[in-house]
Amino acid sequence: MLKDKLLKKQGKTGLPAHNVPPFILDRVGFLLNRAAQRIREVTEEALKDHQLIGKHLGILTMIHEKGSIPQHEVGGCMSIDRTTMVDMIDDLEKKGLVERRENPSDRRAYALALTAKGKEILPKIQKIGLEVERQFLSHLPAKDQKELVRILQKLVLFHLSQTKS
């Protein structure tokens, strides 16, 4: 039924009907931004029951992967500015998912660590995030999904290396 409705809305190209001018639809910046915006919206809706957003999920995952890590390092790796990072950590701390600890290598900075509650919830919310991505990409063949990820990784890693130089 839903597929039939979608097919009726599709134009000659097989894509859903839209009002986006061709010049804009050909712009990489527009496409990347709109895709990111949509996946963010769906992720936030999916995480709503946990009172979390995608940035929270990313921060928790980063701390889990790297172990106790300085706050500024998490923010730098995820491209989150200092003010937003402080707000995000305050949120996670209030929810009992993260704790700030003294950083033995730098007394001016905190090291972040997951709490027991943070370690418990992380696999559940990671599963939600992965399901959102799976659904978002579901209309692409598996080969195209892998190719998209490979291309985006290449672009992101190249440009990350350029900003650190």
Three-state secondary structure string covering the chain:
CHHHHHHHHECCCCCECCCCCHHHHCCHHHHHHHHHHHHHHHHHHHHHHHCCCHHHHHHHHHHHHHCCEEHHHHHHHHCCCHHHHHHHHHHHHHCCCEEEEECCCCCCCEEEEECHHHHHHHHHHHHHHHHHHHHHHCCCCHHHHHHHHHHHHHHHHHHHHHHHC
Q: Mean pLDDT in the chain?
A: 88
Query: Does the structure show a pLDDT above 60 at 1?
Result: no
- Percent of the chain surpassing pLDDT 90: 68
**Average pLDDT, integer, range 18-35:** 92
pTM of the model: 0.82
Query: Does the structure show a pLDDT above 50 at 152?
Result: yes
- pLDDT at position 105 is 74
Residues 88/93/97/98 CA torsion (nearest 10 deg):
80
- Percent of the chain surpassing pLDDT 70: 90
- Token pair 């598996």: residue: 142
Query: Does the structure show a pLDDT above 60 at 3?
Result: no
Residue 130 to residue 132: CA distance in whole angstroms:
5
- pLDDT at position 164 is 61
pLDDT tens digits along 72-113:
899 988 989 999 999 999 999 999 999 998 877 777 778 899
- pLDDT at position 5 is 40
- Token pair 């980063």: residue: 62
The full set of domains in the chain, from first to last, is 27-138 (1.10.10.10)
